Amino acid sequence: MKLMSFTKTALVTASLVALSSAAFAQDVTLKLGVVTPTDHPHSISAREFARLVEEKTNGDVVVTVSDNGALGSNPELLDAVQTGIIDFTVSTPGVLAEYSPQMGLLELPYVFTSIDHMMTVTRGEIGQQMAADYEEATGVAVLGYFGGAQRNMITTNATINGIEDLKGLKMRTWEWSVMLDWWSSLGALGSVVAFPETYTALQTGVVDGAENEFSTFTTARWAEVAKNVSLTQHSITVRPFIANSAALADLTEEQQAAVREAAIEAADFDVALEGELDIKNMEALKSDFGVVFTEPDKGPLIEASAAIIESFAADEGIEDLAAAISAAAN
């Protein structure tokens, strides 16, 4: 009886060990959340990242993607990545600046003169050093930079032909005080509205307008309720693709390398996609939504924005970085 009991105990122990080993051998599942609609470039590129990770790890690492703000707003998603609730998100430099200010420079209007300027900064030594500094300061890894689309202004009733037409308009912005200062410098009234709530805010008159990419005007359907687009071209979008550093460290070295490689490829995929969709969506705004375009005098807009860049850099003690970004245009 004792021998039988010992044998049963040994079998049970062996089974538990086997089950434990099997558990450790299971695939790793990581979470990615974005605020954008399912057919927005950032959501599409997030799914491309997930596909690349699964491919490069032979299915050992799986990334699930939740879009359309299902997991929260941009600030909430950043907090979730920083605390490890989720593993990845596509964020905005202005939101990232709440944790460490350097990234905020990439958000400022007219900081880039062209898509080539943006790519030189984000794909070169400046972007790499900014990513390293941000991870050291926050524990959040910047794996790549999505973006590349132009940002313009959209309004419900007002027509913007110049800076003087912005006076008194309530313009939607996101959760960053510097953008509120920017709208004030243009004579407008900045109003913080979460991305998923912007359509209703435009529809109900809570705000008179907003700024974003053509892709957002179409996929988020803002152009259904706002029919005037001013080609201010005030920003070349940069959207850092970020990860929880601890979650990456839990992966094997091979898996970490695969994830980082997938992020770089997904970022370049996104830039190419946004460039294509800029052209396509501008045509769609005309043909499908009946939007009217104006081309304002950008001189006063650029001048006002230069003061915001200078003030932000001085306040945060990052004048040298701002100068390096500016010099990269040459």
With respect to residue 17, please indicate whether it lies within any of the assigned structural domains.
Answer: no
Taking the C-alpha atoms of residue 224 and residue 291, their distance in angstroms, rounded to an integer, is: 9
With respect to residue 5, please indicate whether it lies within any of the assigned structural domains.
Answer: no
Can you name the residues that pair with 155 across neighbouring β-strands?
209, 228
- Per DSSP, the three-state class of 159 is coil
Q: Report DSSP letters for 83-128, one per residue.
A: HTSSSEEE--HHHHTTT-GGGGGGGSTTS-SSHHHHHHHHTSHHHH
Cβ neighbours around 82 below 10 Å, total: 17
> What is the mean pLDDT of the segment spanning 270-298?
95
Taking the C-alpha atoms of residue 59 and residue 69, their distance in angstroms, rounded to an integer, is: 26
The pLDDT value given to residue 211: 97
With respect to residue 40, please indicate whether it lies within any of the assigned structural domains.
Answer: yes
The pLDDT value given to residue 173: 95
Question: Using 50, 70 and 90 to split pLDDT, how confident is the model at 174?
Answer: confident
Say yes or no to pLDDT of 164 above 50: yes
Tell me which residue range forms the domain holding 35.
26-327
Say yes or no to pLDDT of 142 above 70: yes
With respect to residue 177, please indicate whether it lies within any of the assigned structural domains.
Answer: yes
Angle subtended by helix axes 319-327 and 125-138, to nearest 10: 150
Q: Which residues contact 167 (CB under 8 A, 6 or more apart)?
A: 187, 188
With respect to residue 244, please indicate whether it lies within any of the assigned structural domains.
Answer: yes
The pLDDT value given to residue 26: 52
pLDDT tens, residue by residue, 218-237: 999 999 999 999 999 999 99
With respect to residue 264, please indicate whether it lies within any of the assigned structural domains.
Answer: yes
Q: Whole-number mean pLDDT of the chain? A: 92
The pLDDT value given to residue 15: 45
Domains in the chain, number:
1
With respect to residue 12, please indicate whether it lies within any of the assigned structural domains.
Answer: no
The pLDDT value given to residue 265: 98
Domain CATH for 94: 3.40.190.170
Q: Are 86 and 211 in contact (CB under 8 A)?
A: no
Helix (H) or strand (E) holding 257: helix 253-287
Task: Give the residue carrying structure tokens 């003169």.
Answer: 113
With respect to residue 1, please indicate whether it lies within any of the assigned structural domains.
Answer: no
